[in-house]
Amino acid sequence: MAHDLTTDQAEHPDVARYRAAPSAAAESETLSAHFLRDLMMECGADDCGFVAADDPSIGPQSAWIEALLPGARSLVAFVCRMNRDTVRTSVRSVANEEFHQTYDDVNQVARRAVRRLEEMGIGAVNPAAAFPMEAQAYPAGMRVISHKPIAEAAGLGKMGLHRNVIHPRFGSFVLLGTIVIDRAIDMPSKPLDYAPCLDCKLCVAACPVEAIGMDGTFNFSACYTHNYREFMGGFVDWVHQVVDAEDADDYDKRVTPGESVSMWQSLSFKPGYKAAYCLSVCPAGSDVLGPFIEDRIDYRKRTLDPLLAKPETVYVLKGSDAEESIPRRLKTKQIKVVDYSISSDDPFSFLFGLTLTFQRRKARGLDAILALIISDRGPLTATLRVHASRIEIDFKAPEVSDASLMLDWQTLQTIFRDGVSVADAMATHGATLTGDIATAQAIRNCFPIYRAAARLTSVQSGDAATS
């Protein structure tokens, strides 16, 4: 308003020109979905949809969205498609470049669209499709926005077994983007009323670390440890290897020349995914499913078999399901035990993190409840319940339990992070147990050892070569 300006400001040439010019702001507080769709297509998107910022399905992100753009009213979700056969190739450098090129496309589409909206006087923000993220918040809260639930709410697909959004036309061969705007949209999109996933289980078969379960479960730590070896936590573990090495010869025993060069490539260019095979083999999507429908055996031979036959190093955690099963299932793979570098000084985050490292095969046949009492943090009481090869963690005392373990925060970490047995924790760390010690240990055995006792452990399966 004029009275908010000083006399000098009011008489400034730019202020005078602004007042004399027609208003650049959009006249309506509501934007047309048709207009926005045309704009997104002109900017290079392959499909898009629209979600109100107060949609209940994205409620958990409301604080992030408001931080991105105070007064946000709507979200524009969009996809850019990847070249399918380029993603399917077993040559990782080629597939990785396709991911990175498409991520660049997503970011450019969003930036162009926001520039167009800004020129119309519409407030808009384009968060990155993937990187960079809020890395200073590692390991918790790094992401700026979660594109997947927004894409689902916008009708751009449904999550498949592999935990990626499957577009009804382009299938799994898409990357997601989101734009936050300060206007309402006249016709928000509706979610799909069906799931494009064909339930073929090819993603289950393709995953070299069995992160995807036949029953729909997902082992986060298995995927994170292998596929993201040269991202975040895997990079931290590599730094630890450098620091721990006594000299160059010791380093070469810990890290092969191929691994060192691969890390250099990720640092010099862009981070390299170790797999993403679950996307490679997925036949879902109307543009994609033809070859699978016509000849499933041939489709498997062309897409799945080369990935299973590829000699490569697979990174696993000590005591994990993958460490046990890969030598039997995949003779071309060489496993290497590494550390899990996501850690936390907060008991709540640490215990929640156990849900990400739970090993379902280790839990077969186990139906038990362990109560934990962390004596020097409150005390804080938590319950670990294992049933039907699944884990539930509640931050309250159970009505009944098979065992109850009282210990301090440091001892809790030595058991679940370093692999110290319950018996040793009682004998040397002051932990006390009520109930069955075998049950307490059986529950602990459902989790890998975060910090492998022997970092040099490497188990050869067949005559595989290090990739």
Residue 436 burial by Cβ neighbours in a 10 Å radius (0-12, 13-18, 19+): middle
pLDDT at 3 over 90: no
pLDDT band at 14 (very low <50, low <70, confident <90, very high): confident
pTM of the model: 0.89
382 found inside a domain: yes
pLDDT at 345 over 80: no
Three-class secondary structure of residue 137 per DSSP: helix
pLDDT band at 47 (very low <50, low <70, confident <90, very high): very high
Same domain as 128, residue 30: yes
424 found inside a domain: yes
C-alpha distances in Å from residue 133, one per residue of 63, 105, 128, 139, 197 = 16, 17, 8, 11, 29
328: left (phi over 0), alpha (psi -120 to 50) or beta: alpha
Q: What is the per-residue pLDDT for 315?
A: 95
Same domain as 170, residue 30: yes
**More confident: 454 or 204:** 204
> Which tens digit of pLDDT belongs to each residue from 386-408?
999 999 999 998 889 999 999 99
b/e sequence 299-336, b meaning 16+ C-beta within 10 Å: bbeebbeebbebebbbbbbbbbbbbbebbeebebbbbb
Amino acid letter, 214: M
User: What's the rounded mean pLDDT across residues 50-70?
Assistant: 94
Tell me the C-alpha distance between 413 and 343, whole Å: 10
94 found inside a domain: yes
191 found inside a domain: no
Same domain as 103, residue 43: yes
User: What's the rounded mean pLDDT across residues 142-148?
Assistant: 89
User: What's the rounded mean pLDDT across residues 88-111?
Assistant: 96
DSSP 79-91: EEEPPHHHHH-S-
Tell me the C-alpha distance between 314 and 467, whole Å: 9
User: What's the rounded mean pLDDT across residues 454-461?
Assistant: 38
pLDDT at 464 over 80: no
Tell me the C-alpha distance between 55 and 62, whole Å: 9
Same domain as 274, residue 142: no
Tell me the C-alpha distance between 304 and 207, whole Å: 10
Q: What is the CATH number of the domain that holds 179?
A: 3.40.109
DSSP 371-391: EEEETTSSSEEEEEEEETTEE
462 found inside a domain: no
Q: What angle do CA 313, 319, 460 make, to 5 degrees?
A: 30
pLDDT at 456 over 80: no
Mean pLDDT over each residue of the chain, to the nearest integer: 90
Quote the domain boundaries for residue 39: 26-185
Q: Which two tokens stand for residue 229?
A: 């070896």
> Quick one: which of 32, 55, 46 has its CA closest to 149?
55
> Quick one: which of 61, 73, 220 has its CA closest to 144?
61
Instruction: Out of 4-8, 70-74, 238-242, 430-434, pick the least confident.
Output: 4-8
Q: What is the CATH number of the domain that holds 385?
A: 3.30.1050.10
Q: What is the per-residue pLDDT for 23?
A: 58
Same domain as 266, residue 175: no
Number of folded domains that form the chain = 3
Same domain as 274, residue 160: no
Q: In the block, which residue shows the tokens 């590829």?
A: 310
Same domain as 163, residue 30: yes
Same domain as 418, residue 270: no
For 227, how many CA atoms within 13 A lie in the half-sphere containing its CB?
19
Question: Which residues on neighbouring strands pair with residue 445, listed in sequence order?
Answer: none
Same domain as 37, residue 175: yes
Q: What angle do CA 443, 445, 450 make, to 5 degrees?
A: 120
Q: What is the per-residue pLDDT for 22?
A: 65
User: What's the rounded mean pLDDT across residues 418-434?
Assistant: 94
pLDDT at 459 over 50: no
Starting at the edge strand found earlier in the chain, the sheet holding 390-394 runs 390-394, 380-387, 368-374, 403-407, 432-435
Q: What is the per-residue pLDDT for 139?
A: 66
Same domain as 420, residue 381: yes
5 found inside a domain: no
pLDDT at 2 over 60: no
